[in-house]
Amino acid sequence: MKSLFPAGRILMQTATVMLLCCAILSAEARSFTISPDLGPAPKSPTDIESAKIRHLHLARLMEKPAAPPEEPEGSCRYESEILTPPPTNRIALTFDDGPQPGKTEQVLDVLAQHGISATFFMIGKKAALHPELVARVREAGHQVVANHSWSHPNFHELDAAQQVDEIVRGDALVSQFNGPKLFRYPYGNATCAGNALIHQRGYKIVGWHIDSCDWAFERSGVVARKDAHACGVLRQYRRDYVGHVVAKARARKGGIILMHETHTRAIRQLESLIEQLIAAGFTFGTVTSPEFQASLR
């Protein structure tokens, strides 16, 4: 009887999450029916990417309870969210999906003003298009330019050969700098085969303690209800990006923060975010600082 209990609990959790997701989707459908004249605005590449992130967050919520950690593949798929405690009150800033002309420069300026080093997880294909921005990140003293795959796919949808290709082609970017080898999965979606290959090539896998949810604030500065649910933004912070991140940092007592170079609204608030983190008593390291090593895999 005892062995049946976890399975029952998992089924109940799955049913609850599915009901929640269905409720959100049906509420979305209802609001669309009520206001058919407010059709969605044309979508930018950032909007399309945000929609994919939202979809994958919801998929994760639905799948997580159904993937018992004792099953090897289940234990690999979502390990990007670091569950172990970070070094107390230390923050490591990370910026994904760059380099991004016009935005990478803004991030570098704010970091320089505060003397903070960060880690940039770059998409290989974009880095190849903008080598001058990769060089600027390096010259600004950010020792790490890290592998965020070649073209930013969802690894859960790739076969083994495609995963190898994404990791190896992204590796060409990192290897030329002779720095620490760090890999972050696009969307945080990992696989056991990918993990094995990444480790074979001498990489540490970097997840995050704190998801800034910058993509959810991007469109209007107000996080939609379904996005707040998908990314874990509390009701009182749905209009307050900085407040959301600082509250999460307080709750985790520091940690690695996930941000993106692609979201204008969040980058405009980066300075305010850093100032409020400092005011809250946090100090800054990087993911390669000794105290963060226990948070890497």
- CB within 8 Å of 58: residues ≥ 6 apart: 21, 24, 226, 230
Q: Answer yes or no: are the C-beta atoms of 249 and 91 closer than 8 Å.
A: yes
Q: Answer yes or no: are the C-beta atoms of 149 and 127 closer than 8 Å.
A: no
Q: Which is nearer to Zn ion, 189 or 288 (CB)?
A: 189
Listed ranges 69-77, 135-143, 186-194, 250-258: which one lies at the site for Zn ion (CB under 5 A): 186-194
Q: Lay out the site mask for Zn ion across 83-112 (x = CB under 5 A, - = otherwise).
A: -------------xx---------------
Q: Answer yes or no: are the C-beta atoms of 231 and 211 closer than 8 Å.
A: yes
Which amino acid makes up residue 285?
A: G
Residue 52 CB, shortest distance to Zn ion, in Å, is 10
Q: Which is nearer to Zn ion, 79 or 97 (CB)?
A: 97
Place of tokens 């044309």: 42
Residue burial 207-224, b: 16+ Cβ < 10 Å; e: rest: bbbbbbbbbbbbbeeebb
Helices 131-139 + 104-114 axis angle, to 10: 0
Which amino acid makes up residue 159?
A: D
Residue 72 CB, shortest distance to Zn ion, in Å, is 25
186 binds Zn ion (CB under 5 A): yes
285 binds Zn ion (CB under 5 A): no
* HSE, side-chain direction, 13 A CA sphere, residue 165: 10
Residue 96 annotated among the catalytic residues of the structure: yes
Q: Which is nearer to Zn ion, 96 or 218 (CB)?
A: 96
Q: Which is nearer to Zn ion, 97 or 218 (CB)?
A: 97
Residue 247 CB, shortest distance to Zn ion, in Å, is 23
Considering the candidates 57, 96, 97, 142, report the single residue annotated as catalytic: 96
Q: What number of other Cβ atoms are within 10 A of residue 69's Cβ?
A: 11
Q: Which is nearer to Zn ion, 211 or 240 (CB)?
A: 211
Neighbouring-strand partners of residue 204: 182
The residue with its CB nearest to Zn ion is 96
Listed ranges 23-31, 81-89, 124-132, 183-191: which one lies at the site for Zn ion (CB under 5 A): 183-191
Length of the chain: 297
Residue 6 CB, shortest distance to Zn ion, in Å, is 33
Considering the candidates 148, 152, 209, 260, report the single residue annotated as catalytic: 260
Residue positions annotated with a catalytic role = 96, 260
In the complex, the residues that contact Zn ion under the rule CB under 5 A are 96-97, 186
